[in-house]
């Protein structure tokens, strides 16, 4: 992987003042955007007294500013399209009365919008995103690997009973699903379709233990009858869904880096 583009973090008092915030984070119907208490996707969280972190990435003399990871993903998606969508078309998708002249794309300098410059900008943005994501994904996979090893080897501490008569082994089994699906989500979250699939699989992984307890009717997960069959199908299906999503996200990332003109293969300077 090539060296990430120059980037740094600044802190601001209001995340909504950044260029892409309005166009990415949508308020509920009937509520003024700045007065809204919730957004879709969710608003970023402040870092204590420092305020809201803003990721600044320099590319070809221009500094992109993002107050959320969703904004970074949206920028990569739009700039990576061929042909480049018009700001009129993009602004029409957003209800609220703001016209194309206020859209973040129309505010970009002209030299960034040429096909060659956009390609390099996408490479620079992805290089920063990719530099941060694998570390967290690797940590989750290590946690999943530990859980899998403990379950397969039948470690003695698996029988340790937690409050609520919940065996530690069941918690580690849930951790296995969470580790795999969490890593898959981190690697896929900036891709629209795959990111949504990964989010669904992650949500199912969060629900695996409570659903298992409900089906078993006991925290030890001792099953009888058809409930045991349903649990088995749910567990096996979830495992392969999580593993498949992880492998797909990993493969998509490799293809993006290794295709001609990607940041990993481009050693030219702008």
Q: CA 223, CA 213: separation in Å to the nearest integer?
A: 9
Say if residue 92's pLDDT is above 50.
Answer: yes
What SS3 class is residue 72? helix
Beta-carbon neighbour count of residue 132 at 10 Å? 14
Q: What's the rounded mean pLDDT across residues 157-179?
A: 93
Q: What is the pLDDT of residues 185-233, one digit of tens each?
A: 988 886 778 989 999 999 999 999 999 999 999 999 999 889 999 999 9
pLDDT at 2: 60
Strands (E), the chain: 7-12, 52-59, 62-66, 161-162, 166-167
pLDDT at 38 over 90: yes
Compute the 3-state secondary structure of the chain and give helix, strand, coil in percent, each to the nearest 5. 60, 10, 30
pLDDT band at 101; cut points 50, 70, 90: very high
| Mean of per-residue pLDDT scores for the chain | 90
Checking if the pLDDT of 113 tops 90, the result is yes
Q: What are phi and psi of 113, to 5 degrees?
A: -90, -10
Q: Please give the order of strands across the beta sheet that includes 7-12.
A: 7-12, 52-59, 62-66
pLDDT tens sequence across 49-77: 999 999 999 999 999 999 999 999 999 99
Beta-bridge partner residues of 64: 57
Distance CA 226, CA 39 (A): 41
Phi-psi domain of 154 (left: phi exceeds 0; alpha: psi -120 through 50; beta: other): left
Task: Give the per-residue pLDDT at 4.
Answer: 87
Q: What digits encode the pLDDT tens for the residues 2-37?
A: 688 999 999 999 999 999 999 999 999 999 999 999
pLDDT of 270 = 33
Q: What pLDDT is stored for residue 205 in this prediction? A: 96
Over pLDDT 90: what percentage of the chain?
A: 75
Condensed to tens digits (0 to 9), the pLDDT of residues 128-143 reads: 877 767 778 889 999 9
Q: Beta-carbon neighbour count of residue 232 at 10 Å?
A: 12
Q: Which runs of E-coded beta strand occur in 153-268? A: 161-162, 166-167
Read off φ and ψ for residue 65, nearest 5 degrees. -125, 130
267 pLDDT higher than 60 = no
Global confidence as pTM = 0.59
The better pLDDT of the pair 153, 270 is held by 153
Q: What does the pLDDT read at residue 265?
A: 42
């Amino acid at each position: 992987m090539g060296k990430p583009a120059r980037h740094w973090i600044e802190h601001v008092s209001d995340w909504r003042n950044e260029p892409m915030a309005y166009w990415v984070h949508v308020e509920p119907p009937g509520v003024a955007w700045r007065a809204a208490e919730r957004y879709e996707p969710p608003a970023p969280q402040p870092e204590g007294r420092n305020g809201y972190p803003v990721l600044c990435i320099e590319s070809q003399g221009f500094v992109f500013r993002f107050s959320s990871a969703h904004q970074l993903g949206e920028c990569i998606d739009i700039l990576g399209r061929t042909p480049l969508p018009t700001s009129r078309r993009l602004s029409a998708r957003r209800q609220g009365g703001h016209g194309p002249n206020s859209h973040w794309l129309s505010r970009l300098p002209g030299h960034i919008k040429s096909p060659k410059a956009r390609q390099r900008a996408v490479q620079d943005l992805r290089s920063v995103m990719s530099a941060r994501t694998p570390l967290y994904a690797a940590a989750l996979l290590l946690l999943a690997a530990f859980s899998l090893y403990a379950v397969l080897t039948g470690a003695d501490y698996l029988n340790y009973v937690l409050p609520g008569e919940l065996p530690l082994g069941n918690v580690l089994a849930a951790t296995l699903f969470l580790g795999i699906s969490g890593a898959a989500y981190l690697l896929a979250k900036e891709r629209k379709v795959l990111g949504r699939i990964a989010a669904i699989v992650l949500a199912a992984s969060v629900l695996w233990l409570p659903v298992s307890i409900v089906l078993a009717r006991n925290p030890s997960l001792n099953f009888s009858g058809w409930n045991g069959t349903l649990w088995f199908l749910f567990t096996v299906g979830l495992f392969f869904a999580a593993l498949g999503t992880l492998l797909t996200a990993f493969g998509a990332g490799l293809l993006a880096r290794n295709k001609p003109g990607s940041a990993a293969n481009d050693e030219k300077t702008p």
